[in-house]
């Protein structure tokens, strides 16, 4: 495991421990989090009707930069995979949308987050969810087994984004689609410009630009690629929704 991956893992393990102690996940180190409430991130991106009925710990553990379940257009009976599922909020919301004939997987590399997510699933009575331990660069699911992939402010943290994108293409069924929330930089910003605006583990320095993201998705074989900024996080860096489809 690279030093950077370990730093990310420990950062999110600490967030999970914070939630177990009754605090919001970003309270333990708000300066380092990419999801500080004052930046328009985290739990406030989910409306009250979505949060109602979820365990408090799932809500407190929200560390995203968007609400992918709101844009993924999930349908009854579909199989959904959440990359970097954390405390499980997007998995639980997805499970409700796909219903008992569907299934929602969550994938995370952090044991503390997986423990928290599984506890939240039991509290929610969600029978159609499964949380997997692994890396988003090496998804432990067979090819062509998933209808929709979602992710919430996680792909920017990977040090091998082409591998993540190739894995997404592999596990999606033909016609499968992406509905991803992520941090995306203006094309004018160089990697050093991005690093000046925030740390890698804070979801800023590792973000792709709009052009880079589009190029990587198309190189992997995705079509109908669309990246729509939703709000500016720091100067020229945005929370964005990434859509794409596997032919």
Residue 36 to residue 79: CA distance in whole angstroms: 31
What is the topology classification, in CATH, of domain 3-245? Answer: Rossmann fold (3.40.50)
- Considering the chain, what is the average pLDDT of its residues? 84
Q: What is the dihedral of CA 172, 137, 157, 29, to 10 degrees?
A: 100
Which helix (H) or strand (E) segment holds residue 51: the answer is: helix 48-51
pLDDT in tens, 74-97: 999 999 999 999 889 899 999 999
Q: What is the pTM of this model?
A: 0.86
The fraction of the chain above a pLDDT of 70, given in percent, is 77
Residue 102, pLDDT above cutoff 90: yes
Model pLDDT, residue 106? 97
Residue 245, pLDDT above cutoff 60: yes
For 41-45, what is the mean pLDDT? 48
Residue 66, pLDDT above cutoff 80: no
pLDDT in tens, 106-161: 999 999 889 989 999 999 999 999 999 999 999 999 999 999 999 998 999 999 99
Residue 94 to residue 80: CA distance in whole angstroms: 7
- DSSP for 113-163 reads HHHHHHHHHHHHT-SSEEEEESBTTB-SS-TT-EEEEEEES-GGG-S-HHH
Residue 63 to residue 192: CA distance in whole angstroms: 25
Domain ranges of the chain: 3-245
Residue 41 to residue 152: CA distance in whole angstroms: 11
Asked if residues 245 and 231 have their Cβ atoms less than 8 Å apart, the reply is no
Model pLDDT, residue 162? 98
For 20-28, what is the mean pLDDT? 50
Residue 202 to residue 168: CA distance in whole angstroms: 23
Model pLDDT, residue 68? 82
Angle between helices 111-124 and 89-98 (to 10 degrees): 40
* Residues whose CB is less than 8 angstroms from the CB of residue 73 and which lie 6 or more positions away in sequence, other chains included: 179
Asked if residues 104 and 128 have their Cβ atoms less than 8 Å apart, the reply is yes
């Amino acid at each position: 495991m690279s030093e950077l991956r370990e730093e990310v893992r420990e950062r999110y393990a600490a967030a999970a421990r914070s939630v177990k102690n009754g605090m919001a996940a970003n309270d333990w180190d708000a300066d380092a989090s990419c999801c500080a409430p004052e930046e328009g991130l985290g739990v406030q991106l989910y409306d009250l009707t979505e949060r109602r009925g979820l365990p408090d710990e799932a809500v407190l553990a929200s560390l995203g930069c968007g609400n992918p379940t709101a844009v993924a257009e999930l349908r009854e009976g579909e199989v959904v995979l959440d990359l970097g599922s954390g405390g499980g909020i997007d998995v639980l919301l997805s499970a409700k949308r796909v219903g008992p004939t569907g299934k929602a997987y969550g994938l995370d590399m952090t044991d503390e987050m997986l423990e928290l997510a599984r506890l939240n699933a039991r509290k929610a009575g969600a029978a159609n969810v499964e949380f997997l331990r692994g890396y988003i660069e090496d998804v432990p699911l067979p090819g062509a087994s998933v209808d929709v992939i979602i992710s919430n402010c996680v792909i920017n943290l990977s040090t091998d984004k082409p591998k993540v994108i190739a894995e997404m293409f592999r596990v999606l069924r033909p016609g499968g689609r992406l509905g991803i929330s992520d941090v995306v930089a203006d094309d004018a910003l160089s990697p050093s410009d991005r690093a000046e605006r925030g740390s890698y583990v804070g979801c800023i320095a590792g973000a792709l630009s709009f052009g880079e993201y589009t190029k990587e998705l198309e190189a992997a074989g995705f079509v109908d690629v669309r990246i729509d900024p939703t709000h500016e996080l720091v100067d020229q860096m945005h929370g964005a929704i990434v859509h794409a489809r596997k032919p």
